[in-house]
Amino acid sequence: MAQVDLPDNVVITKLDELVSWCRKYSLWPMPFATACCGIELMATGASRHDLARFGAEVFRFSPRQCDLMIVAGRVVMKMMPVLQRIWLQMHEPKWCISMGACASTGGVFDTYAVVQGIDRFIPVDMYVPGCPPRPEQLIQAIIDLQEKIQRTGTAWGKELHDPRRSRPPRLLLSDPNHPELPVSAGRFPMERQPEASWPMLSPPPPEEPRRLNSEPKII
């Protein structure tokens, strides 16, 4: 076998690895901070803990510019459609960190309004335990997520065709603590169809075909 001597400044790798390597060090988080965990999230981004060391410091408040959703705090059922809408507005590839006991399980707020774990309704990649988690824990979650991105990312989005992606995130069959409560995934209020009350998830109305080079409309 012929052996080629590479110069010192040349590295050979797979394209997938290279792309994932680029992605994992340029995470742009979307701070969905709804409660006290948000304060720790801010501390994580601030100078003492300095999230910039891990390449994830560019917090953007527009979902179109983000690829990492950090849900920091409890999410109530009225907020859930907002969270889902923001998640759907983010571009692929995207990841989600559920920060704190409340976002992951509802925490101490076992009440009618608080969603018992956002992972029942949107996909989550990393869970951070704690109430609130220390910034180091959040940084650890981001490092773990970077490992996951390196492990699973592909340059051409092969993973997007994985049939497992159509599975509900963590389907609730019955509430273990309150078995009397009805659970019927995807319907609220229980007897109405979701389309009637939550217009955001209904299919978009048929649009008029967009005409290119058409005359500008004079109003």
Residues that bind ligand SF4 (CB under 6 A): 35-37, 73-74, 100-102, 107, 131-132
Interface pattern 83-112 for other proteins (x via CB under 8 A): -x--xxxx-x-x---------------xxx
Which residues in the 144-183 window bind other proteins by CB under 8 A? 160, 165-169, 171-172, 175, 178, 181-183
Q: How far apart are CA 139 and CA 68, in angstroms?
A: 13
Structural contact between residues 97 and 68, judged by C-beta atoms closer than 8 angstroms: yes
Instruction: Give the Å distances, CA to CA, from 213 to 42, 210, 217.
Output: 47, 10, 12
Structural contact between residues 27 and 66, judged by C-beta atoms closer than 8 angstroms: no
* CB 182, min distance to other proteins, A: 4
Tell me which stretch binds other proteins (CB under 8 A): 53-61, 130-138, 147-155, 187-195: 187-195
Interface pattern 117-146 for other proteins (x via CB under 8 A): ---xxxx-----------------------
Q: How far apart are CA 75 and CA 82, in angstroms?
A: 10
HSE-CB of 180 using CA atoms within 13 angstroms: 0
Of ligand SF4, other proteins, none, which one does residue 61 interact with (CB within 5 to 8 Å by kind)?
none
